[in-house]
Amino acid sequence: MKKVLLMMATSLALFACSETEKPNPFFTEWDTPFGVPPFDQIENQHFVPAFELAIVQEKAVIDSITSNTEEPTFDNTIVALDQNGALMTKVARVFYGLAGTEATPELDSLKSIISAKLTAHGSDISLNQPLFTRVKAVYENRENLALDPESLRLVEKIYEGFARSGANLAPDKKERLRKLDGELAKLSIAFEKNLRHDNGTFALILTKEQLAGLPESVVAAAAQEATARGNEGSYAFTLDKASMLPFLQYADDEKLREQLYTGYLTRSNHDDEFDNKEVINQIVTLRMERAAILGFANHAAFVLDGNMAKDPAAVYSLLEELWTPAVKRAKKELAEMKKIKGTKEFNSWDWWYYAEKLRTQKYALDENELRPYFSMDNSINGIFELTTKLFGITYREITKEVPLYNKENRVYEVTDNNGEHLGVVYFDFHPRSSKNVGAWCTTFRGQSYKDGKKVAPVVSIVCNFTKPVGDTPALLTLDEVETLFHEYGHGLHQLFADVKYNSIKSVERDFVELPSQIMENWAFEPAVLAMYAKHYETGEVIPAELVEKIQKSSLFNQGFNTVEYLGASLLDLDYHTVVDPGQIDVNKFENESLSKYGLMAEIAPRYRSTYFKHIFSGGYSAVYYSYIWAEVLDADAYDAFIESGDLFDQATATRFRQEVLSRGGTSDGGVLYHNFRGKEASRKPLMKNRGLI
């Protein structure tokens, strides 16, 4: 009967496609180069039917597992569950990939509809008692099954997933948990939608007379942005960092700097329909209740129990250990900048402007002098050449061969050191009103195994970098170059993945930044700069004197960078260690949280509450600290290359690939790291890299 229902549902879905004369591409095998998504065929109308059929298919498999009259075994329960959901994964990766880059009102509406369906469906699975009974039976007998370590890990992670989703709860608590998950999913979407609106609609429109101090390249980009917004002849600066930060660095008019930075700091905090304060209130309250139902003291305790840190006390300990020396260094930086400004008054919107002047004064280093050497093409080539030296992999651009989801995409095939196809990488570099803010790596298809054969991933790197202007290519800042290396580190983690089971691919949140952050260490090494930092017009390799200035200024402004990051991390933890939030006055809570640690008035946290997407709609709630936690690992791991005497040592790189990058979540992060390094990570390299010792 179940098979009949499944066949009927499939037939109806295909019939619905024929009625529109546009076959749903999710219902067929993709006949595209390397099996990339057929973006040219996928339309918004295809998503809901595809998700609905995927739900029907998953339920049918779940029913077949629970109705099996045989004793629960590793194969008939755990493996069957792990292999379930191929269509769901196929559709979801494409949908959520496009929702972050090609958002439209229609796609936003679909996201709300689909999120509700998927949340309910997820609860149906995680709270399915007959299914959990079978999973639990295998789990409790796991030591007698002669399983290999990866299979044993699979049993444990699947069981833990059910337990952490409430499978052991009484029926009334399960029902409450189901409702909480549904509400939280809606609130996450609302937060993101409000932020995208505020970020996209704000623009500082200026005349030529108001541009004093700004470099010619920044002015040209602002003119291009103004024209795109229908203000030809004017100059527009937006809240995208590629536009905002150069303005804060160079604009002489302090009032205009204040206006732009205030626009950034107050996003979704205007007491209007796009305000996020009430959304935050509801999220914090519901997360607290959810944690309590699951038996945890607070949301942070629940989240961290599944991460390397294990509990909030360990995270507070690390953050507070770094906080004092970071503030001390930031105050020194502030004192130096106040001397340049010549007044006692110093505001947060002054920091970038006078930091740039201080950098010029101390190191004779002007970022605009560097930009011509860091074109987008050169920077990508730098990453490719570096990873070829480390891992032996090679690249071929295939943009014209494959479907694109946006005309700005650049696409590459990656070939492994043995000549085999390793994967495909899509790049999406520049801001659009349809894109979420920030930079991230995701996959349109993750690595997997099908019928015993490895399926290669399709990776997507998304950024919001400086745009090209006229005939001048995109010329990146050092920060943008570092971000590109960072995100490609995530890409390598996906490309090198070689995990048999789907349910143990993911690593802990406080481990996931290790593969990305270690790549940043190579970005500005002299030997690496010589490979890719070449003048976009002349091809001249960056002069030795500029390289020396970059090296000497490597610790510049690290007090500020560390303090603004730690401030956001502490704010995140404070929100999620609240036991009885009641009705939070978000602005007051934030101010009290940061003032108790002694955050300087001249520094705002990297993210204020109403636009803190990482923790309220980005999956980093209670783990924003993970970047610095992983930085302890990446700094120590990079020391392994230094200790080898060769920054491109292939033996060390191969060991890192085999023990970390290829392993997914087949062991705890701490175990994976120890397998690579042979010891626990020391905090000393991190402290040294940030100038805190």
Using an 8 Å Cβ cutoff, are 102 and 405 in contact?
yes
d(CA 656, CA 640): 10
Distances (CA, A) of 149 to 307, 512, 642: 20, 21, 32
Q: Is 313 left (phi over 0), alpha (psi -120 to 50) or beta?
A: alpha
d(CA 486, CA 520): 6
- Closest by Cα among 118, 127, 112, 107 to 45: 107
Distances (CA, A) of 21 to 18, 24, 25, 38: 5, 9, 12, 17
**Element (DSSP H or E) covering residue 259:** helix 254-265
DSSP H helical segments within 100-170, as ranges?
Answer: 105-126, 129-140, 149-164
**Element (DSSP H or E) covering residue 441:** strand 440-445
d(CA 361, CA 365): 8
d(CA 262, CA 163): 44
DSSP string, 316-367: HHHHHHHHHHHHHHHHHHHHHHHHHHTSS---GGGHHHHHHHHHHHHH---H
Cβ-in-10-Å burial (0-12, 13-18, 19+) of 396 comes to: exposed
User: Across-strand partners of 423?
Assistant: 414
- Do you know the residue count of the chain? 693
* CA 595 to chain CA mean position, Å: 28
Q: What is the DSSP letter of 288?
A: H
Using an 8 Å Cβ cutoff, are 508 and 633 in contact?
no
Q: What is the DSSP letter of 75?
A: I
Residue 206 tokens read as: 């200026």
Three-class DSSP category at 440: strand
Query: Between the CA atoms of 639, 641, 642 and 648, what dihedral angle is there, to the nearest 10 degrees?
Result: -150
CB atoms near residue 2 (< 10 Å): 13
Using an 8 Å Cβ cutoff, are 39 and 403 in contact?
yes
d(CA 446, CA 398): 19
Q: Is 470 left (phi over 0), alpha (psi -120 to 50) or beta?
A: left
DSSP H helical segments within 524-644, as ranges?
Answer: 526-532, 544-552, 558-576, 586-597, 613-616, 626-644
Q: Catalytic residue positions?
A: 487
User: Across-strand partners of 441?
Assistant: 461
Residue 605 tokens read as: 């946290």
Using an 8 Å Cβ cutoff, are 692 and 322 in contact?
yes
Residue whose entry in the numeric block shows the structure tokens 């010589």: 530
User: Across-strand partners of 426?
Assistant: 411, 460
Strands 458-462 and 421-428: parallel
d(CA 264, CA 272): 16
